[in-house]
Amino acid sequence: MTEKYTAAQWAEIEGGHEVTPAQEESYSFLRDLHESRMTKDNGNAKKLTYTDCGERMYLTLLALETMRQYPDFKAYVQRYCKKTAGFERYKMYRIMGTDLYNFIYFLVGDSSAQDKLKDPDSAKRMRAATKLPTAAINRYINAVAQGKEPSQVNSMLMAIESAIKVTNSDYKAIRRNLTNFARLTKAEKRLVSTRLIFAVRAKLRSSDIIEDFEKFAAVKNLEKASVVDPEPTVSTPDISSTPADLALYKYLVGDKNLALTKKFLEQAKDGKAASANMVQAYMPAIKMIDDIVAAGPAYVQQLRAVHKRAKKG
């Protein structure tokens, strides 16, 4: 039997307004939806890195903006934004909030927000170095929630790309095409949408937007079967290349290799191929691992133990 929410929880869903018995009955489906949310506070967030949250927040906005291009799906996008709006400072985790709200909370909240993630220490370092355009995001969410046409959408998405260091060429192509979506041919719209469908399935599989986005894609016949799915499904680690980290890297690779080592780490994080000189710069660290492996199982076990202590520390 479907479990019911408390009166306070229903009130939060409705933005603080009282809920009638009829409304409560009509919302009974929300419990099941809540159980499958990505950011439900049952340890799900511990599977996400800071980088994961940024990427998934960005993809959620792309999905909403894509659906908003079609009049018969604007009402869904408006409802979703209404559930997200109203708590613009992201000071606390909201169990009844949307995944979009909670992704932003993990990205801009205080240290307790990053403590909920997979690698809290790396997340906090990245939080300190990330300037998310929260005001622009809030303007977009509030405008859509009120049924208005949001302004400067492309500027907002580009600012997000810069802040969270989006380098995926497919994601950037989707964003650029959304700016001129009405001018695209039907074939071009299908190609753009198919790329986004792959990304949403891979990165937002258990989110609160997936069911409606899949329905949208099916109703509009937007998935192009001939396009190959390029999306990895694994979490993206928070590989840090801050000045403090690089100062320690010099003990592994040497002063002269620091600049190229930084580039190597950035390319590796983004899943891109590294040039030969980047690999060569990182080679001292690779050689260190190789020496340990060559020395035998006991040395490998010691390395694993040191790694485990480092992660806890």
Q: What is the pLDDT, as a whole number, of residue 125?
A: 94
| SS3 state of residue 43 | coil
Secondary structure (H, E, C), 250-285: HHHHCHHHHHHHHHHHHHHHCCCCCCHHHHHHHHHH
pLDDT value of position 231: 58
Distance linking the first and last C-alpha atoms of the chain? 44
- For 236, list phi and psi in degrees, rounded to 5: -95, 120
DSSP 25: H
Please say if the pLDDT value at position 193 is more than 80. yes
* Choice among 38-47, 95-104, 222-231, 260-269 with the minimum mean pLDDT: 222-231
Integer Cα distance of 164 and 217 in angstroms:
27
Q: Which of 214, 168, 165, 266 is nearest to 63 (CA)?
A: 214
Amino acid symbol at 124? K
User: Both tokens of residue 89?
Assistant: 């400072």
Going by C-alpha positions, the residue among 86, 35, 50, 12 that lies closest to residue 208 is 35
pTM over 0.85: no
Summarised one tens digit per residue, pLDDT across range 257-307 is 878 888 787 777 666 677 788 788 888 888 888 888 888 888 888 888 888
Q: Token digits for 238?
A: 């928070």
Output the pLDDT for position 230: 58
Q: How far apart are CA 38 and CA 45, in angstroms?
A: 7
In single-letter form, the type of residue at position 158 comes to M
pLDDT tens, position by position, 134-176 = 999 999 999 999 999 999 999 999 999 999 999 888 999 999 9
Residue from 131, 99, 123, 124 nearest 49 by CA:
123
Stated length of the chain? 313
Q: Give the whole-angstrom CA distance, residue 24 versus residue 172.
A: 41
Alpha carbons within 13 A on the beta-carbon side of 152: 11
Taking phi first (over 0 means left), then psi (-120 to 50 degrees means alpha), and beta for anything else, what does residue 86 get? left
The mean pLDDT of 228-236, rounded to a whole number, is 56
Asked whether the predicted pLDDT for residue 26 surpasses 50, the reply is no
27-44 tens-digit pLDDT: 444 444 444 477 876 577
Amino acid identity for residue 257 in this structure: N
